[in-house]
Amino acid sequence: MKLLAVLAVVLVLSISATGMSIQESSAQPGARVLDACEPGKPEIDATDLPEVVAPERCPIEGRQIVDGAVKSVVPPPGKGVYAEVLTPSGSQELDVARRADGTVELDHVGDDSQEATAEARSVSGPDPCSDPAYKDDSFRVTSELHYRFNISTTPRELKHVQAVRAVRRAGANVVRTRNPCHLGDQVPAELIYDGNTSGVANVGDDSCLESDGESVVSFGDLPKALAKTCTYYKINPSGYDEVGSSDVKINRRDFRWTTRPRARSCKRGWDLQSVLTHERGHTFGLGHVPEESHGWLTMSPVINGPCQKSERTLGRGDVLGLEGKYPQASMGQTHS
């Protein structure tokens, strides 16, 4: 009888242990490395990842996240990077944030703007002064952002003084919310021009590189894109994330540039101030609004074409987005 009792106890313990083993093994697949993140892959397709990725499921140190035409290195813990590629037919965004514990959060994945013909762009959306649409991204410039411009990279069709003026005015268009709609508020955060630099924007041919802490505008080569902006920020768990630097690279290889888009001499020239106004909207935390329904706003994802300057001034939605993100009472009254 004692032997039978012992066997019964052993049998019960064995069944319990087996149950625990089954439970443990069923929990393991949830922690396994995702196929997209397997070792040996220097690039990880963002569309193959969930919006929130635990570090044990995706070892991403030193690798890049790719979403179509836009690409970015993975930032260090506690930091994030917003990448935007602007092309003649539309734009693409990707936001990669990495929490202090290593968890990665992705935003704007697959948010490609639709290819739009010139005819479709010319009639898309209501008048800019009656369109209140805007997209508020997670970050903002908290007080001031210093930047430099590499004048030596200016293409031959532009005079240096013209390029500098266009670069500076583009930033002022956003900070001072310049608009034809009689909306008067200004952004209570400063964008400060510190002059020339021999450095270049921290943007590769197709990727946002690791942040160097400097904000630079420069011309260079980009594959089929007018410009690319990489904005680096510090994650703030209790409010807007804090922009530390923002680089803009403008394509001088594939496009001609102008600062006089309405001149008779303008032929296929893209207005530098218009393109940079759009990019500075991203620096200050505005995202894209849909082109098909808000095409006249500066932050729609399509620039309206060569030899035009409509994006130099903001629409109602662009201004409302900045007003909501930069309330005067909470940030003081300083402006650029």
Q: Is the pLDDT of residue 11 over 60?
A: no
Nearest partner of 219 among 150, 275, 288, judged by Cα: 150
DSSP string, 77-107: TTEEEEEEEEETTEEEEEEEEE-TTS-EEEE
Q: Which of 7-21, 28-42, 127-141, 317-331 has the lowest mean pLDDT?
A: 7-21
How much is the pLDDT for 331?
55
Q: Is the pLDDT of residue 18 over 90?
A: no
Query: Strand ranges (DSSP E) for 25-135?
Result: 43-45, 52-53, 64-67, 70-73, 79-87, 90-98, 104-107
Q: Is the pLDDT of residue 2 over 50?
A: no
Look at 124 and 214; give whichever has higher pLDDT.
Answer: 214
Q: How many residues does the chain have?
A: 336
How much is the pLDDT for 224?
87
Q: Tokens 């393991």 appear where? A: 28
CATH 3.40.50.2300 is right for the domain spanning 43-331? no
pLDDT digits (tens, 9 = 90+) for 269-320: 999 999 999 999 999 999 999 999 999 999 999 998 899 999 999 999 999 9
The CA distance from 26 to 172, in Å, is 57
| 249 Cβ neighbours under 8 A, 6+ residues apart | 200, 201, 203, 217, 218, 219, 220, 222, 227, 228
Phi and psi at 273, nearest 5°, equal -65, -40
How much is the pLDDT for 285?
98
N-to-C CA span, the chain:
92
| 50 Cβ neighbours under 8 A, 6+ residues apart | none
How much is the pLDDT for 112?
63
The CA distance from 203 to 231, in Å, is 10
pLDDT digits (tens, 9 = 90+) for 180-218: 999 988 999 999 999 999 999 999 987 999 999 999 999
How much is the pLDDT for 72?
95
For the chain, the average pLDDT equals: 87
pLDDT digits (tens, 9 = 90+) for 40-96: 889 999 999 999 999 999 988 888 999 998 999 999 999 999 999 999 999 999 999
Look at 183 and 112; give whichever has higher pLDDT.
Answer: 183
pLDDT band at 335 (very low <50, low <70, confident <90, very high): very low
